[in-house]
Structure 1
Amino acid sequence: MVPEPARWPERETSITDTFTITTLDSLDEAAREAAAVILEAAFNDPERYGRARILSQLQPAGLPFYRRFFIALRAGEVVGVGGVKAADWASDSHILYLSAVAEHSRGQGVARALISARIAWVMETFGSGRLLVSTARSRRFARLGFRLMGKREAGGRRLMLLEF
């Protein structure tokens, strides 16, 4: 049985001194296109992360196999994007995925803010479960309470888990 979310806000906003984190509005084609450009540039793998796949992933999906994206905006420009989705293979499991920051905005806390916003949204919405991420930045996620899973690296990335 799929748990009913505790809260399912349409838009959630977090403001810092220089940028705003909000959910990607499915009707905002310009923001969706800008997010796709950032993801394409960051992943630079047309076979695996081509434009059509990225654009389809940027569309929200409802329960039980939800998918939601958050964007970072600075002066109306999309400077970062990050997704979270239900793991369709495990109950009460969620995945942080397709995260990237525009090159000119890196090192300014955008990635940290996007990660924090997604973690907070999952915890507030579902109450309990587990959150997974595949990352090359294991220290960043360890500081947030994630722990390493297994001993193997795949392409310089490690699987990490946060139980909540």
Structure 2
Amino acid sequence: MKEYFIILVVCLTPLFIGCSNKAQYSGQTLRYEDLPADVRLKFKQVYNYCPAPTFKGCDTIEYMPPFIEGHNMNGDTVIIKKSDMIFSNSFTICSNGKRMKFDLSILERVFIIKDDSIYYPISGNGITTSGEPRSSNVKVDTLLFQVSIMK
């Protein structure tokens, strides 16, 4: 009986660890109009971006918006790392020595970093269409945004 208990604990431990792997965001909710002007412009550019299709042989390659997209207004590189834990649905955004952890419950995964703050939509449906800009499915000026301080 003791062996079964030990096996059960060993098997369930990764599940409990993965479930307790919570994202660390909290902050202020803003409307599109309340965003800083340069951040608002960057979101508008990202949502309207769609290059023309390219042709490779007889194949047409259309633009598909990234699953997770990050931009730093300061020009620094943004690195997006998926969690290595097996039951985790989180990812970490790193830029300029600061990081923030998020989970995939955020459907509109576009992140704009300005100074120590990270801005991201918290409303919307997350639908994207191949060959179309994000704005064909989601009107950026109707979204609510979260602003948090990166640590």
- When normalised by structure 2's length, the TM-score is 0.26
- When normalised by structure 1's length, the TM-score is 0.24
Larger radius of gyration: 2
